[in-house]
Structure 1
Amino acid sequence: MKLKQLTITLFSFCVAAFSATTAAEAASFSVIADGLDNAGGLSFGPDGSLYVTEAGIGGNGNCVPPPSGQGDSLCYGTTGAVTKIENGKTKRILTGLSSLALPDGTGASGPRDIQFDATGLPYILLGYGANPAFGDRLGDTELGRIITADFQTNSWTSIADLANYELVNNPDGSDLNSNPLSFLIDGDQLVAVDAGANDLLSVKTNGSDLQAIAVFPPDILTNPVFPPSGSPSNEPAQVPSPSETPSLQFPSQAVPSGVTKGPDGAYYVSQFTGFPFPEGGAKIYRVGADGQLTIYADGFTQLTDLEFDSAGNLYALQYANESAWKGNLEGSLIKIAADGTRTTILSGNELESPSAFTLGADGAIYITNRGDRPGQGQVLRIENIQSVPEPNSALGALTLGVLGLVCLRKSSRSKPLVNKLLAFR
């Protein structure tokens, strides 16, 4: 994917930084599900059971080019599923859903999130991870859509086609790409983030009034750290050669990865940073009722999900604590109090490339672990959380009442490795 050369305009913004005590929390966890294929979002159903999506492993069907235009093609199959976890047992209760993946089953797009409405009806979001203009090569699939499902009959009904919305409207005006990753149900509205399209969408539960309510700005990285020359990459053109001087300013497109509703009624969106995945470069945005973006918290690395608890604490899930190209995919779960205090609940300790989480009514936290690979996905149950103070540090978090002005920046759009990495969520 070639970078478009655009004029770069930077506007300064003001944020309030708070000094606070960070803490680590001693927590224990157990594995309550294993062997999942590219596990994604999870949610408790009306029966009290936990349901988790599996994007599948693609298949031997028709193929489409990857978003970057380089590397192996993504091939279609019907290996997507929804799995039910009940009384320590797992069972796939919805199968045959669309899946798109690389030949080895990685980089999969398919079922990515599940939510239940007030009546107990399940809604399922499917990713796509490619240019929707190639959709005719795959035929009529559920990719890039929100569907409702009947677990008893193993059937489903399409509600909204988010990938087609990108094809027709392309709200951010850049490369055509759609990869919905996460959504929530807010009354009669379904609100979803599309990482490929780089926007936040809403649609009524009956499928009407599909629209973009926010588009997320690109980043300009200053003195970024690149992988060593010759490092494996699906965007080798972006890895500087030994004879090149790395750019002091580098355009990078971070993408929205998760969405939740805050106690103030606004939507909060996590950010997965683009190549070269700068450590501490990810933000959490607040999206107001007017669609305006402000930065709620920053200083994270490759976020995949977020959720508020009943006390107003915001939890954020980090896919990796280091730049993804370093190969260390140990992640973290971080709690952010309303006053800006941050607490690391779990970091490393077998938590790696986590894709999503949910807060249980039992006080435990449930995380899909190793969500970027076939046959190795897990669901972890984290409990016995106790704070252990750590030294003070300055935080870049904002309270709900103190909001910074987002930096509106124009740059070229680069979504190289992000689509492969974000296919997990």
Structure 2
Amino acid sequence: MHSKITYLFVLLLLLGTTACEEFYDIVEEIKPRSPKSNVFVTGLTAPLGVESDALEQLWVTEAGTGTKNDGELVFINAQGVVYPVVQGFSSLASPEGAIFGLNHLLLKDNILYMLHGVEGRLYKLDITNYQPGDKPLQAADLAYEDVGSWVKKHLKTEETDIFNLTVGPEGDIFIADAAANAIIRRDSKTKKLSVFATIPPINNPGGEPAQVEAVPTGITFDGEKFLVCTFTGYPYPAKKATIYQIDLTGKTSVYQTGLSILTDMELGVDGKPVVLEYGTWTGETFIPNTGRMVLSTPNKNVALVNNLNFPNSIEKSGLKTFFIAETFDGTIEKVNF
């Protein structure tokens, strides 16, 4: 049921300013000094989702090893100390060694919403009374909603991987399904699900196949429209990954293209998207340390940070600090502008 996404992740395994200022202007102001980038946390087990709270502390999902149910939610304080919060999430491996488990997460009204791609579940955890060092909870004890089964039924597909999520109008949650190529809307009051938008395939200039799937991996809401970035399906045509914009009626159009293999996105201080490029595809494998952090405006794409090692998640904390998860290194990178 995960054939499309399985192949994708098997290949992955081979291997102070005002809000009205443009982020690009901030970058220009600090030249010739480069952004300061340091490893903030090491030793994580396939970190994927990163979320910051009001105190600029991090909540991170770990997909696990794929050999046992060792997926985790962890809390990371400002000093980089890691505390397990919930343990025992299922973590599965394909015959080729690709790992599947927890995906991205979202903090809303002191509730953490966590997506699990294999199980198709939206897990929920109230963190109001959490204290670092509390005895870890078990995944089996968490409340959840079955999103994956709904996607299969209503989109008439066996392919689902609920991958990323954001908050939109009326406090509703919008979920990007990377395998079904769709955006699912969850009503904040009734919890009812609906198909908000579908993401179209992308033309492949190589011709075989003529089109590739979009594979939406990142989603954010800027107050007026949604922005969705795409990984693109095999053979990952260079410079064809697209950022789509979706209006409040679900109409999809192109925001920007000319990018490659996008894994996640966040809004910069000016509301423009900052995206992650996973790395350079050779036709056989991905080259290590070729990932990038890129500011994308309607007129141009500007590289902000180079030489990232297979980045999979980005989170903004404060005005000019970003955290980037490098899943296969087990690290969180901290980037300050």
TM-score range, shorter chain: 0.7 to 0.9
Shift of 1:355: 0.4
Q: Which residue of 2 aligns with 1:366?
A: 323
- Is the counterpart of residue 295 in structure 1 residue 254 in structure 2? yes
Aligned residue type for 2:69: T
- Is the counterpart of residue 57 in structure 1 residue 38 in structure 2? no
State the 4+ residue runs in structure 1 displaced beyond 6 angstroms. 20-25
- The structure 2 residue matched to 1:261, chosen from 199, 221, 226, is 221
- The structure 2 residue matched to 1:181, chosen from 128, 150, 163, is 163
SS for the counterpart of 1:289 is coil
Q: Which residue of 2 aligns with 1:111?
A: 102
Q: Which residue of 2 aligns with 1:17?
A: none
SS for the counterpart of 2:270 is coil
Q: Counterparts in 2 of 1:249-288, with a 5 A limit?
A: 250-263=210-223, 265-288=224-247
CA contact (8 A) 1:145 1:158 kept: no
**Bigger radius of gyration among the two:** 1
CA contact (8 A) 1:145 1:160 kept: yes
Q: Which residue of 2 aligns with 1:381?
A: 334
Q: Which residue of 2 aligns with 1:195?
A: 178
**Is the alpha carbon distance of 1:190 and 1:159 closer, same or farther for their aligned partners in structure 2, counting shifts above 3 Å?**
farther
- The structure 2 residue matched to 1:35, chosen from 26, 34, 43, is 43
Q: Which residue of 1 aligns with 2:116?
A: 126
Q: Runs of 5+ in structure 2 lacking a partner? A: 5-23, 131-135
Q: Counterparts in 2 of 1:70-85, with a 5 A limit?
A: 77-85=68-76
Q: Which has the higher helix share?
A: 2
- The structure 1 residue matched to 2:310, chosen from 353, 367, 389, is 353
Distance in 2, matches of 1:46 and 1:96, equals: 27
CA contact (8 A) 1:277 1:323 kept: no
By relative contact order (CA 8 Å, sep 6+), the higher-ranking structure is 1
Q: What TM-score results when the alignment is normalised by the length of structure 1?
A: 0.65
Shift of 1:366: 0.6
Deviation per residue, 1:300-328 (Å, 9 max, x gap): 10101112123122201111133573331
Shift of 1:28: 2.0
- The structure 1 residue matched to 2:202, chosen from 219, 223, 237, is 219
**Is the alpha carbon distance of 1:207 and 1:177 closer, same or farther for their aligned partners in structure 2, counting shifts above 3 Å?**
farther
Deviation per residue, 1:159-211 (Å, 9 max, x gap): 432210122112xx5x5111111111234311110101111011124562111
Distance in 1, matches of 2:143 and 2:160, equals: 17
Aligned residue type for 1:163: G
Q: What TM-score results when the alignment is normalised by the length of structure 2?
A: 0.81
**Is the alpha carbon distance of 1:328 and 1:36 closer, same or farther for their aligned partners in structure 2, counting shifts above 3 Å?**
same
Distance in 2, matches of 1:381 and 1:127, equals: 26
- Is the counterpart of residue 147 in structure 1 residue 117 in structure 2? no
CA contact (8 A) 2:56 2:317 kept: no
Aligned-residue RMSD, C-alpha: 2.6
CA contact (8 A) 2:265 2:273 kept: yes
Deviation per residue, 1:130-180 (Å, 9 max, x gap): xxxxxxxxxxxxx2111112565615534432210122112xx5x511111
Aligned residue type for 2:46: N
What fraction of aligned residue pairs are identical, expressed as a percent? 22
Deviation per residue, 1:335-388 (Å, 9 max, x gap): 124x5243211111xx1110011111152111001x1x3xx31100011x3xxx
CA contact (8 A) 2:279 2:286 kept: no
Q: Runs of 5+ in structure 1 lacking a partner? A: 3-19, 60-76, 129-142, 225-246, 386-425
Aligned residue type for 1:182: N
CA contact (8 A) 2:173 2:188 kept: yes
Aligned residue type for 2:318: A
Aligned residue type for 2:34: A
Distance in 1, matches of 2:188 and 2:90, equals: 21
